[in-house]
């Protein structure tokens, strides 16, 4: 993404809150474009010969497979990168996304 703010510092301890980076999710944003690319890759997998419908997978397996396919596609295209140093330095990772209510 272009013009993305600098990453905030990692939390000091496991289970401390992670500071979040603001993301523009409007229809003309880079996020929106990436979301469409990833969504198409995930849908292609789900409907394809190795996907959810062909294998009668559980909902959890469908979600895991779709997320894997979407992330793999974006990584292979070089559209996203893994920050290995940040990931390996963190004391732990939040597994649930905090949602803002408005």
**Residue (of 40, 23, 28, 38) closest to 79 by Cα position:** 38
- What pLDDT does 95 receive? 87
Residue with tokens 């198409």: 40
**Residue (of 34, 23, 35) closest to 78 by Cα position:** 34
How far is it, in rounded angstroms, from Cα 73 to Cα 71? 5
Whether 62 is in a domain gets the answer yes
Whether 44 is in a domain gets the answer yes
Whether 36 is in a domain gets the answer yes
Whether 89 is in a domain gets the answer no
Whether 40 is in a domain gets the answer yes
pLDDT values of the chain reduced to their tens digit, one per residue, 102 residues: 456 678 999 999 999 999 999 999 999 999 999 999 999 999 999 999 988 889 989 999 999 999 999 999 999 999 999 999 999 999 998 888 877 765
- What pLDDT does 3 receive? 63
Whether 52 is in a domain gets the answer yes
Residue 69: domain span: 30-80
The domain tally of the chain equals 1
Whether 41 is in a domain gets the answer yes
């Amino acid at each position: 993404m272009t013009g993305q703010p600098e990453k905030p510092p990692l939390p000091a301890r496991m289970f401390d809150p992670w500071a979040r980076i603001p993301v523009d999710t409007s229809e003309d944003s880079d996020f929106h474009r990436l979301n469409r690319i990833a969504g198409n890759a995930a849908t292609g997998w789900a409907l394809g010969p190795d996907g959810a419908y062909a294998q009668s997978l559980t909902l959890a397996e469908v979600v895991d497979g779709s997320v894997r396919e979407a992330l793999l596609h974006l990584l292979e295209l070089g559209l996203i990168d893994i920050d290995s140093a940040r990931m390996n330095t963190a004391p732990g990772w939040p597994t649930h996304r905090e949602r803002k209510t408005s």
